[in-house]
């Protein structure tokens, strides 16, 4: 039997060894590299641009091995990571972060009261339905809360069934995923009442900060 998505041995093994190669693989053979080494390292310059924009209590959706949650804890920022991978949750707690093994679509602590939510490292792809994910994130945030999304560095808008893949015989089950560029994110965000507050690039990575409604009505404290 094939292991559930993000709990397959290739992903668990990659987090334990802190290195790849690891990919998302479509049925047609197309591969999207997963940057396990960066995920398991200290926050880089691009990550710090995200950390600097976090306000209040922070929810890291799909926290992976926990570098951002742990860094927020060091800064004295209340933060919680959620991830469906038990190894990701275990590693996050080992390095000083707080994390729960949950899906974003499960019941979560502080629903409607988070100040900042993060969808970093391509996690806007979770569930393969960006509109549903953005709507769910809106339920988790306070009315003045903000969402920081890392988008694809190119303009893309696609949904596919993928597997976690490390080589022949080392792969997980098919699950839905999406890749979204900044333009597609803007369209999807508008469909559920989010406005773009700012966008920026750092070391080849692209980010967008969203707030509810018109950007002119969303202050950045």
Kindly tell me if the per-residue pLDDT of 215 is higher than 90: no
* pLDDT above 80: residue 25: yes
Percent of the chain at pLDDT above 90?
A: 88
- The span from the CA of 119 to the CA of 208, in Å, is 10
- Higher-confidence residue of 26 and 214: namely 26
Q: Which stretches within the chain are classed as H helix?
A: 9-17, 36-40, 45-51, 67-74, 86-94, 130-140, 182-191
What pLDDT does residue 214 have? Answer: 47
Q: With cut-offs at 50, 70 and 90, classify the pLDDT of residue 99.
A: very high
Q: H or E stretch including 178?
A: strand 175-180
**Position 9 confidence tier, pLDDT thresholds 50, 70, 90:** confident
51-71 residue pLDDT tens = 999 999 999 999 999 999 999
- Count Cβ atoms below 10 Å from residue 116 Cβ, excluding itself: 23
Tell me 34's DSSP state. -
Are the beta carbons of 133 and 139 closer than 8 angstroms?
Answer: no
Q: How far is residue 180's CA from residue 127's CA, in Å, rounded to a whole number?
A: 13
Q: Is the pLDDT of residue 11 over 80?
A: yes
């Amino acid at each position: 039997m094939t292991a559930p998505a993000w709990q397959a041995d290739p992903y668990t093994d990659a987090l334990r060894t802190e290195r790849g190669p690891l990919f998302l693989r479509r049925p047609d053979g197309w591969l999207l590299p997963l940057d396990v080494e960066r995920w398991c390292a200290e926050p880089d310059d691009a990550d710090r641009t995200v950390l600097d924009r976090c306000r209040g209590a922070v929810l890291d959706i799909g926290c992976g091995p926990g570098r951002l949650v742990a860094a927020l804890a060091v800064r004295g920022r209340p933060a919680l990571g959620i991830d469906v991978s038990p190894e990701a949750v275990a590693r996050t707690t080992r390095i000083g972060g707080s994390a729960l093994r949950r899906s974003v679509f499960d019941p979560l602590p502080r629903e409607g009261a988070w100040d900042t939510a993060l969808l970093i490292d391509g996690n806007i792809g979770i569930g393969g339905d960006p509109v549903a994910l953005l709507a769910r994130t809106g339920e988790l945030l306070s009315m003045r809360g903000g969402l920081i999304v890392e988008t694809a560095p190119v303009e893309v808008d696609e949904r596919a069934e993928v597997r976690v893949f490390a080589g022949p015989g080392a792969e997980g089950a098919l699950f839905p995923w999406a890749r979204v560029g900044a333009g597609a994110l803007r369209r999807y965000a508008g469909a559920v009442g989010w406005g773009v507050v700012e966008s920026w690039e750092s070391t080849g990575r692209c980010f967008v900060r969203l707030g509810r409604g018109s950007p002119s009505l969303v202050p950045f404290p």
